[in-house]
Structure 1
Amino acid sequence: MSQNTPARRRLRRALRPHISRTQLLVGLLCLVLGFGLATQVHANREESEFAAARQDELVGILDTLSQRSDRLRAEIQSLEQTRAELEQDTRGEAAVAEARRRASTYAVLAGTVPVTGPGIELVVNDPGGKVTASMLLDTLQELRDAGAEAVQIGGVRAIASTYFRDASGRGIVVDGQRLFPPYRLLVIGDPHTLSTALDIPGGIMESLRSAGAEGVVTQREEIRITAVRAAASPQYARATRDGDRKNN
């Protein structure tokens, strides 16, 4: 007897799933709504930290961002003024003055000269030895983002190449020098901006408290940074003139 009778064919067609245009449209709408919901949840998670912040904390964050913007605008104006002076200079005096100014700036950034100015003193008390090298690195980066122009950690002058690593036992190694708590940081920059940046929600101070440590900030009109670094000569890099530049 044949297995492919008309009755069996009708039964298979009846059992075969059929997807209508309406069902496809409903499915696509569900997919879009699900994606939108997931995106909103992700955004809410990112904003929840600031949504829980107090009004004075939010004002402090906005104030910090505003001061950073003001610094950038001032730097742009200074560079534009320097360019105009150099373009109008006929005797080379402006170029010499600019070269001296840049040499002084680079000496500060490279840590080869002592510096003084307004800023803060940050003392990190760590009775339980829970502060890690990465936490001190985050602190340094946060201070730089807030406009720190010079930083001394213990007896070490922090520069662009400064590194941190956890020491065996107790303490943290900074540029080869082992430091023990309490860690003392001297920072030159705008005192209010630096203090505010450290105490934003989810920031450095909160991380220290979560680890059982404590950060104490003192704003000062004058901070003296005496630690210096020896000037290092580059091994591979060399300065180029405009005429030496080549496109890859």
Structure 2
Amino acid sequence: MTGPGPAATPEPERVAPEPASPEASPEPATARAAPRNARRRLDLVAAALIGVLTLALGFALAVQVRNADEAEVLAGAREEDLVRILDELNLREDRLRQQLSEQRSALQELNGSGSRTGTALEEARRRAQALGILNGTLPAQGEGMTLTVRDPSGDVRVTDLIEVVQELRGAGAETMQVDGIRIGLSTAVTGKPGNLRVDGTALTSPYEFVVIGEPQNMATAMNIPGGVVQLVEGRGGSVQITQSDLVVVDALRPLDRPQYASPDTE
């Protein structure tokens, strides 16, 4: 009878390896590169900020040192140097004030020249108008009078009408017309009694003069002893004078153009 055999050694249990968890799996290359790029950008921004702050601090220190140096120089300067520096500053101030004054003078001169030009043009216009009225090439209005010469017998002569014109001008008449004909510097009275003409145009009695001027002075001149009124009455006629605050002289003379004369430009 055989004895029992040796006991069997139990076989060790095999443990199956646990599957790797997702967290333990290796990361892709792109996932690892993203944080590195972000850190690199932050490092560049920080470096740039540090550089700007360093430059600003350096500039502030330089300005402060310069001001301190100037202050130390002035503090350590001699009295003669301080006087010289003050004189130079005063001279510089004087030059700046002089330049400012010159600029202001130039501006005033420009404004003044423009004003003088405008005044000269306005004066030229006034003179041209005055000459136009005196020459009879422009109409005119103003205070004056109407002088009517009646000649029922036709005895008023050329010299009588010339006397009327001369007496009115002597009394301050500025311009006038008779029967719609403007009296000018070169006006000619011609004809014979009863057939009088002014610049070739026949007149018809009564002869009506419209005159601009101081009415009272002209009326007084017409009525002086031996004057126009007595002269016309001696020819059998009469004179009627009507003063007015506004009369109109609107007859015009043609502009005479010189045939031989020309302006002297020298």
TM over 0.5: yes
| Shift, 1:219, TM fit | 0.4
Q: 1:50-77: per-residue Cα shift (whole Å, max 9, x none)?
A: xxxxxxxxxxxxxxxxxxxxxxxxxxxx
Contact 1:134 1:165 in 2 (8 A): no
Segments of structure 2 that go 5 or more residues without pairing to the other structure are 1-111
Q: TM-score, normalised by structure 1?
A: 0.59
Counterpart contact for 1:132–1:172, Cα < 8 Å: yes
Q: Find the counterpart in structure 1 of residue 183 from structure 2.
A: 158
C-alpha separation in 2, matches of 1:224 and 1:161: 21
Tell me the secondary structure at the aligned position of residue 122 of structure 1. Answer: strand
| TM-score of the aligned structures, taking structure 2 as reference length | 0.55
After superposition, give the CA deviation of every residue in 1:87-113 in whole Å (9 maximum; x if it has no partner): xx6332222111111111111111112
Q: After the TM superposition, list the runs of 4 or more consecutive aligned residues in structure 1 that deviate by more than 6 angstroms.
A: none
The number of residue pairs the alignment matches comes to 153
1:222 to 235, 238, 246: 246
1:171–1:180: structure 2 CA closer, same or farther, 3 Å change rule? Answer: farther
Distance 2:146 2:209 in 1: 6
Q: Which residue is 2:132 aligned to?
A: 107
**Contact map agreement 2:168 2:221 (CA 8 A) in 1:** yes
Alignment partner of 1:129 is 2:147 = no
Contact 1:124–1:184, Cα closer than 8 Å, also in 2: yes
Shift of 1:165: 1.2
1:185 deviates by 0.4
* Cα distance in 2 for residues equivalent to 1:171 and 1:180: 8
Letter of the 2:216 partner, please give it. Answer: H
Per-residue Cα deviation, 1:106-136 (whole angstroms, up to 9, x for no partner): 1111111211111010000111111011100
Secondary structure of the corresponding residue to residue 104 of structure 1: helix
Identity %: 38
State the secondary structure of the residue aligned to 1:96. helix
Given the alignment of the two structures, is residue 234 of structure 1 paired with residue 247 of structure 2, yes or no?
no
- In the alignment, the residues of structure 2 paired with residue 117 and residue 155 of structure 1 have an alpha-carbon distance, to the nearest angstrom, of 17
Residues 187-217 of structure 1 show CA distances to partners (whole Å, capped at 9, x for unaligned) of: 0000000100111111111111111111110
Q: How does 1:12-51 map to 2 (within 5 A)?
A: none
Post-superposition offset of 1:238: 2.4
Unpaired runs of at least 5, structure 1: 1-88
